[in-house]
């Protein structure tokens, strides 16, 4: 496919009471989502935060495994974290991704809440496979904390349906949600992909 | 379905050089897998380690969210961690699960490595849906560290195929692997489940 990149946004996301906040970087989010992105062949994994000290922290984590002591201790981890680019926000993501792949970036928002715009995964897989989309690259965007802001959702090109199981409960970690999304779109169990 | 429980084993698992070890409990494994188990309606999530001090630690984490300060700070987290039972090993898991559901426990081993016994997810979903399996409950077993021991794999009733993406790389975290397995078996995108 080579049409999918993934972004983890720490701003603009919702806080506990719905207000827009910048959340903190979580070490294991970077590791787990990088490992899933590498497994599923995502083009790039962007970790975005407007907070300079948080970007410095994220780059230190990533650098440890890419070039530091971690790269010899566990080279597989370094290969995954090599996919990570730490950036301030969406403008830098879109610019970097467009220059890397030479295609138009389409923003795909995700949420744990159903919206009138929600597209089911099977419909989105079919959409990805249409030939006119060969000129586009799709950026799966996940929000930390209580999810992407309403303004972000409204401005996105697509909104993916919430991941649902058998129960009414859907409080997956963002790490697990990212892995499931990539598996549904690019895994060897996804209908029509292989 | 109500036929699936999940177990995270810290023994018997492989260490870096293939020897059988007991690995350490990871806080976020308990959280993330409990949240996925609750989302997908798994019957129970067992965290197993033969090390007494590690079980005390795991029970302290779980108790904080079930009954302690965490239960009022984030009740949704408490609901998920209410699915967790901390046990020494497989004997206690099988005994507890059989007494809870009154069915025969069938052991389903998972691995990142292909084996001659590996069953594809679509074949396993069909197997779960056959009426003769109404008297069985299936325990998905995941190993920490470098995976379940060879002896454990050989003794299991079933071995699920490795989760694969587009690349040859498959180093998912155990948290993400558990969530993807539950999604493939019980998610609203899995063919034939709904």
ipTM score = 0.95
Other beta carbons within 10 angstroms of residue B186's beta carbon come to 26
DSSP annotation of A44 reads -
Per-residue pLDDT reduced to its tens digit, B64-85: 988 888 888 888 889 999 999 9
Per-residue pLDDT reduced to its tens digit, B88-104: 999 999 999 999 999 99
Residue A193 has pLDDT above 60, yes or no: no
Contacts of B81 in chain A (CB under 8 A): none
Q: What is the mean pLDDT of residues A131-137?
A: 90
Residue of B41, B165, B191 lying closest to A187 (CB–CB) = B165
Q: How confident is the model at residue B1 (pLDDT cuts 50, 70, 90)?
A: low
Whole-number Å distance between alpha carbons of B40 and A190: 18
Residue A27 lies in a domain: yes
Tell me the CATH number at B77. Answer: 3.40.1280.10
Q: Which domain holds residue B39?
A: 4-186
Residue A49 has pLDDT above 90, yes or no: yes
Q: How confident is the model at residue A1 (pLDDT cuts 50, 70, 90)?
A: low
CA distances for A72 relative to A34, A68, A77, A78, B145, angstroms: 18, 8, 10, 8, 18
Lowest mean pLDDT, pick from A28-32, A65-69, B99-103: A65-69
Whole-number Å distance between alpha carbons of B32 and B94: 23
- Non-local (6+) Cβ contacts of A2 within 8 A are A41, A43
Q: What is the mean pLDDT of chain B?
A: 94
Residue A192 has pLDDT above 70, yes or no: no
Contacts of A176 in chain B (CB under 8 A): 32, 35-36, 175-176, 178-179
Q: Are strands A13-14 and A20-21 parallel, antiparallel or unpaired?
A: antiparallel
Q: How confident is the model at residue B129 (pLDDT cuts 50, 70, 90)?
A: confident
Residue B181 lies in a domain: yes
Predicted local confidence at residue A122, as pLDDT: 92
Predicted local confidence at residue B12, as pLDDT: 97
Residue of chain B with shortest Cα separation from A30: B173
Lowest mean pLDDT, pick from A27-36, A115-124, B45-54, B124-133: B124-133
Contacts of A164 in chain B (CB under 8 A): 39, 187-188
Residue B194 lies in a domain: no
Q: Which residue has the higher pLDDT, B68 or A58?
A: A58
Residue of A31, A164, A180 lying closest to B180 (CB–CB) = A180
Tell if the CB–CB gap between B180 and A183 is shorter than 8 Å: yes
Per-residue pLDDT reduced to its tens digit, A72-116: 888 888 999 999 999 999 999 999 999 999 999 999 999 999 999
Residue B174 lies in a domain: yes
Predicted local confidence at residue B192, as pLDDT: 61
Residue B50 lies in a domain: yes
Q: What torsion, rounded to 10 degrees, do the Cα atoms A177, A178, A181, A183 define?
A: -110
Predicted local confidence at residue B72, as pLDDT: 87
The fraction of chain A above a pLDDT of 70, given in percent, is 98
Q: What is the mean pLDDT of residues B48-60?
A: 97
Tell if the CB–CB gap between A28 and B167 is shorter than 8 Å: no
Tell if the CB–CB gap between B165 and A39 is shorter than 8 Å: yes
Residue A115 lies in a domain: yes
Tell if the CB–CB gap between B186 and A165 is shorter than 8 Å: yes
Whole-number Å distance between alpha carbons of B168 and B162: 12
The fraction of chain B above a pLDDT of 70, given in percent, is 98
Predicted local confidence at residue B87, as pLDDT: 98
Residue A193 lies in a domain: no
Residue B46 has pLDDT above 80, yes or no: yes
Q: Provide the domain count of chain B.
A: 1
Lowest mean pLDDT, pick from A68-72, A146-150, B137-141: A68-72
Q: Which residue has the higher pLDDT, B35 or B73?
A: B35
Residue A105 lies in a domain: yes
Predicted local confidence at residue A70, as pLDDT: 87
Tell if the CB–CB gap between A36 and B172 is shorter than 8 Å: yes
User: Do residues A171 and A38 touch, judged by C-beta distance below 8 A?
Assistant: no
Residue A69 has pLDDT above 90, yes or no: no
User: Do residues A80 and B171 touch, judged by C-beta distance below 8 A?
Assistant: yes
Global confidence as pTM: 0.96
Predicted local confidence at residue A129, as pLDDT: 87
């Amino acid at each position: 496919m080579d049409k999918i990149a993934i972004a983890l946004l720490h701003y603009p996301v919702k806080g506990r009471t719905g207000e827009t906040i910048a959340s903190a970087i979580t070490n294991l989010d970077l590791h787990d989502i990088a490992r899933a992105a590498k497994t599923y062949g995502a083009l790039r994994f962007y970790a975005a935060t407007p907070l300079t000290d948080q970007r410095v922290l994220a780059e230190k984590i990533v650098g440890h495994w890419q070039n530091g002591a971690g790269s010899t201790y566990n080279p597989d981890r370094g290969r995954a974290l090599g996919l990570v680019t730490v950036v301030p926000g969406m403008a830098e993501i879109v610019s970097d991704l467009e220059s890397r792949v030479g295609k138009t970036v389409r923003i795909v928002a995700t949420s744990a809440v159903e919206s009138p715009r929600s597209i089911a995964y099977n419909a989105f897989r079919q959409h990805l496979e249409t030939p006119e989309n060969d000129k586009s690259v799709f950026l799966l965007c996940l929000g930390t904390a209580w999810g992407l802001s309403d303004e972000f959702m409204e401005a996105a090109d697509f909104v993916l349906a919430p991941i649902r199981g058998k129960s009414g409960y859907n409080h997956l970690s963002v790490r697990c949600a990212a892995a499931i999304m990539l598996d549904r779109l690019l895994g060897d169990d996804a209908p029509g992909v292989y």
